[in-house]
Structure 1
């Protein structure tokens, strides 16, 4: 859903995803249903070239790990 090419496609996939997660992750499914447009899919309002960086925290996690690694030597 978060890698969907368009917002409309993601909105179509969201109910199916919530249904699949309802048994194992009920709070996540509930949040997904209640906040799909304003919180969950806000990354789809940006140009496609920016979406991957916006929807993940990998860059931030790498930066924090590098800061910790460099700070150990002091």
Structure 2
């Protein structure tokens, strides 16, 4: 199953950048995969905590459920 390119937004300490992911294939619509689809790098102050969030505009199905956006966020210390 082919997952085409999708838009992605990455926010680091409130500064947002966006782009398009790479396309990739999975064995089935219910399988998990560990595939690099986008990279982003930035410089942050040494010793500071960093707030990071990602919104991937998936607009597809996983395990029979429609998913528009897959989001994740965390603070790194």
Structure with the higher strand share, 1 or 2: 2
User: Which is bigger in relative contact order (C-alpha 8 A, separation at least 6)?
Assistant: 2
Query: What TM bracket, shorter-length normalisation?
Result: under 0.3
Q: TM-score if structure 1 supplies the norm length?
A: 0.23
Structure with the higher helix share, 1 or 2: 1
